[in-house]
Structure 1
């Protein structure tokens, strides 16, 4: 039916007949058919995603607390106090930041996370930031920088000032000390099980929300056309 409606519309346009009502009628028919197909596909995928089995519930290491509302935002996920410091962790999949960063192995994409760790002190105007790669059995530091607190609200904000030396250019002893520094604050591979499960729930929720919002938009447009 869709192909017939589209063909009829093309013929009407080529012939340039003055019957505008006929052209509008065919155009409305095509739009309605496309909307219906799209709504049906969105609903099928929505139901398929809704039936997916979530991973077992995993708790973060006992020293960390989950930040309220983190599932619905793009900010930090976990927080903890370490002496007079506040430590916050944001997370993304490495494959979402570097296209193809997970390589050819699908498991690698799942098992590579990207952490943004912020260490704050109340009396300091700047925060210490670590960008890290997290794996099931290891954690690696990509960069260390100082950033004004005003730049700490968003995830992966480009700093306005000097971002520090390339981490790999630091001598091995200093790199090891930086690793010890964040490990003392609980930043290590023990975070992986929780953050991996948390990302699954967040991505699942975002996908469900996307199907609903697109479907609502198309359905409203469809009803408006029919009116």
Structure 2
């Protein structure tokens, strides 16, 4: 297809415009193929059936605008504490498809416990499964406020959780379970992630397509300007 476009240009265009027109035609052909592919994939994703709506366990509430942002998904109040939960797939952290024997993709959960009188919050990184939750690390970090949940610690991040004695590890598990952080969160967070990933993929196809289309319009305008300038030059010779 691209060779044919080049051949047509070479046969029909004046020598002064051959390079410009062939370059424009080949570029337009490539862009057209890519735009068609983006549109087809966008339509496929748009037709996907989303899972049934799942509500978070009480008393957690969905953060407004969470689907469009990169911050917390769920929040709740526990006495004077604010509990925030953010989530992503564990496979996105470690790479590859990290599924268990049942084909379940575990979730990577960030639990942030903050108090009004404290400038830092207690931060838990956890692996969440349908029937279990395991703590990977515990650290003190700056309060989330308007930041995303992937805040790189700027100071000592605490000991390796598995190096703590069993009694302390069990106590930390009891601490977050008391605040409602357990496997009951899995159904909602799993469904929420599926919807978010679906939206993100559609948005990616759409924005890439828009970018390429705008580039085509710019190329077309530039080509018309160049052609007009060349015609004027030919008349003056």
Q: Specify if TM > 0.5.
A: yes
Name 1:157's counterpart in structure 2. 151
Describe the shift of the 1:151–1:77 C-alpha distance in structure 2 as closer, same or farther (beyond 3 A).
Answer: closer
Name 2:180's counterpart in structure 1. 186
Contact 1:5 1:26 in 2 (8 A): yes
Contact 1:151 1:159 in 2 (8 A): no
TM-aligned CA deviation for residue 156 of structure 1: 1.9
Q: Which runs of 5+ in 2 are unaligned?
A: 222-237
TM-score, with length taken from structure 2: 0.86
Q: Which runs of 5+ in 1 are unaligned?
A: 12-17
Distance 2:106 2:176 in 1: 19
TM-aligned CA deviation for residue 219 of structure 1: 1.1
Corresponding residue SS for 1:198: helix
Describe the shift of the 1:78–1:104 C-alpha distance in structure 2 as closer, same or farther (beyond 3 A).
Answer: closer
Name 1:74's counterpart in structure 2. 70
Out of 35, 50, 53, the position equivalent to 1:57 is: 53
Contact 1:77 1:90 in 2 (8 A): yes
Name the larger-Rg structure: 2
Name 1:27's counterpart in structure 2. 23
Distance 2:102 2:217 in 1: 41
Corresponding residue SS for 1:225: helix
Name 2:36's counterpart in structure 1. 40
TM-score, with length taken from structure 1: 0.90
Distance 1:101 1:49 in 2: 20
Superposed counterparts of 1:120-159, under 5 Å: 120-149=114-143, 153-159=147-153
After superposition, the CA RMSD in angstroms is 2.3
2:3 aligned with 1:3: yes
Name 1:203's counterpart in structure 2. 197
Corresponding residue SS for 1:86: strand
Describe the shift of the 1:104–1:173 C-alpha distance in structure 2 as closer, same or farther (beyond 3 A).
Answer: closer
